Structure 1
């Protein structure tokens, strides 16, 4: 009881195939300038027919475990945050098998673009109560499976990828300083991937559902308004709980949905733009993968250093949003 949390490793993976803005301009009425000006995106990585979410997750996980300096058999819990599993029953167990984490229990967590933050907070409860000591958290999505490639408003936004971190229990100083979580189901229709049912007569007047999931549907204007209003509030509350001010934050790590959203959030929090961690130009919106993907790039690129204080926030479908303040390493 009373264990703290140390984030000791990170890793990421993305498909090799790159879909550029110029490629999209050949598919729908758009241009590199139009996309980049409105979103900050230039490229996104797209999984090939032979690549799976489980495979991407496994690579990201192995990289994170290697950085943490522990054995894969030391992992006792795996939480896979995803909205696009390979198997509707969940893919966390498949990832467990791929990496050989034979001592770990594994489950999926679905909270769309907030998934990674929600998974980190969930893992922290297991660690703090002493139930598990070494937890692997993965954020991964293959949204290219669910995009309407003829819809200019949405097809330019999404890419595929996976990111992971290792959290370990520690009796030294707790590195997870505070967190906030929220949901607002009354705005569910602003961003969703709905199931559309159709009737299938069975026998004796009994009818069952037999339908399909539809492509991603989004009201971009409403999502923008929601994020710019709610994300600074969630981070501000988390900073208050941690007894921190904007000057204490070394890096702002947001879900990579839109560069303009990230800039607006930083401005409201009075955090300088140069403290924003962003790789949206290369990967686009990778949903639950976006925060750990950006973190891994910043750590391996030498930006984020041990002891740095990071304010992170995920936000998206549900609608859900949350924040976490933590120190790296």
Structure 2
């Protein structure tokens, strides 16, 4: 039987600083009601000074490895928009700190779709025989790239990390990742972006203006495209897997905004209660959001072995993707 990537462990980590809506109201022209009604967010967590993306990735990765019962891994993929450094990648340092030895380790940059891309990458490593076990981490310190005076972004994003351990197994096992659908549209790259920091804004060696180093997003256009692309991608993988929408027990979508997730569930014809949500507690954590939602739902006992999950995400690039799996039996802390 064809080799498949099977979920063997799950973990997550949040930084210690909790920022409530009340904290933001004190310095921004906004209100708790405005934030909740538009985003569904009550609080988010922010990495304190001295805490890097790799610190959160190591913490989440260690928990996932423990959850997997020490299953060996010979590759690591880190999905992040906020790496420790522009060069080198963050993953090798994370692998070193986790004591994984000289394993293959690299980053994936697809913004909020990053974890889905990383999962597909890891599944490919297992399918082709290049790895027997892969640790996949989504980790972000998005607070580092937000303009603190920008109400439209500061209220939405938070920091955090989530991880899955994948092992080689059979496609008919619980935990096996199903078919993937991935896509992109570079014509929309300006809708979700940090304009400066790369080669494009420094053609003559001069420094770009400071405001170009902040994250920006065109919310209204992103809302429409996110629902459209995620719903299409989700239907594509369901068709490939031979699943009917009514057979999906849980929708685990990128936690972008509670209205986007609700609209997506409605578009797919899924009852709202089947959509996993933790955005109220942690905000939008970009590439970390899908694994964070999985770990929080698992820890809360919301995911039972044998239940069918549909994962999907949308992010900058523009990028999007989806996959399916049947949740395995995993120990809970």
Report the TM-score, using the length of structure 2 for normalisation: 0.93
Residue-by-residue CA offset, 1:171-191 (whole Å, 9 max, x unaligned): 362521211001011111111
CA distance in structure 1 between the partners assigned to 2:270 and 2:68 by the alignment = 30
Does the 8 Å contact 1:2/1:130 carry over to 2? no
How far did residue 198 of structure 1 move?
Answer: 6.9
CA distance in structure 2 between the partners assigned to 1:57 and 1:199 by the alignment = 30
Report the TM-score, using the length of structure 1 for normalisation: 0.94
Residue equivalent to 2:310: 311
Residue equivalent to 1:102: 101
CA distance in structure 1 between the partners assigned to 2:325 and 2:202 by the alignment = 49
Residue equivalent to 2:134: 135
CA distance in structure 1 between the partners assigned to 2:51 and 2:151 by the alignment = 25
The count of aligned residue pairs is: 321
Partner SS state of residue 86, structure 1: coil
Change (3 A) 1:7 1:199: closer
Structure 2: gaps spanning 5 or more residues? 329-333
CA distance in structure 2 between the partners assigned to 1:59 and 1:198 by the alignment = 34
How far did residue 16 of structure 1 move?
Answer: 1.0
Does the 8 Å contact 2:6/2:170 carry over to 1? no
How far did residue 170 of structure 1 move?
Answer: 0.8
CA distance in structure 1 between the partners assigned to 2:244 and 2:171 by the alignment = 23
CA distance in structure 1 between the partners assigned to 2:315 and 2:308 by the alignment = 24
Structure 1: gaps spanning 5 or more residues? 201-206
Does the 8 Å contact 1:193/1:214 carry over to 2? yes
Partner SS state of residue 208, structure 1: coil
Residue equivalent to 1:66: 66
How far did residue 265 of structure 1 move?
Answer: 0.4
Partner SS state of residue 57, structure 1: helix
Residue-by-residue CA offset, 1:147-193 (whole Å, 9 max, x unaligned): 01111111111100000000000136252121100101111111101
Correspondences of 1:1-329 after superposition (within 5 Å): 2-71=2-71, 74-89=72-87, 90-171=89-170, 173=172, 175-195=176-196, 207-211=204-208, 214-329=213-328
How far did residue 98 of structure 1 move?
Answer: 1.1
CA distance in structure 2 between the partners assigned to 1:144 and 1:34 by the alignment = 20
Considering only aligned residues, what root-mean-square deviation do their CA atoms show, in Å? 1.6
